Amino acid sequence: MQTKQPLNRAETELARYGDYMETIIMNMRWAGYLLIAIGLINWRYQNSFEKGAPIWIFGLLLIAGTFVPAVAKRLTSKFGIAVVALAVAALLVVAFAA
């Protein structure tokens, strides 16, 4: 029976970084689900496509983007995380202020 060799420091750091990026991607997917739900609720109760559609469309695009490797790589950069966080926060403010 072959025993598993312990990971060296670089492999350990890479594994930890991969786990961190997967957590970021999952959080972005949850934010996308949140935007879809709030956008559809807003669309239903405001009876206005212009008020609800941008919210759920951005949520749908955010979820789709997390499944495309090239887009997910950009989203998990520090700049991408900041842009997504600001966009989600702005859309939530719009949803509740409308």
Distance (Å, whole) CA 4 – CA 14: 18
- Condensed to tens digits (0 to 9), the pLDDT of residues 40-66 reads 988 888 777 788 889 999 999 999 999
Confidence of residue 9 (pLDDT cuts 50, 70, 90): low
User: What's the mean pLDDT in 10-26?
Assistant: 74
Average pLDDT over residues 13-33: 82
Task: Look at residue 56 in the predicted model and tell me its pLDDT.
Answer: 92
Q: Where are the domains of the chain?
A: 28-97
Q: Is the pLDDT of residue 14 over 60?
A: no
pLDDT at residue 48, as a whole number: 75
| pLDDT higher than threshold 90 for residue 19 | no
Section 23-32 average pLDDT: 94
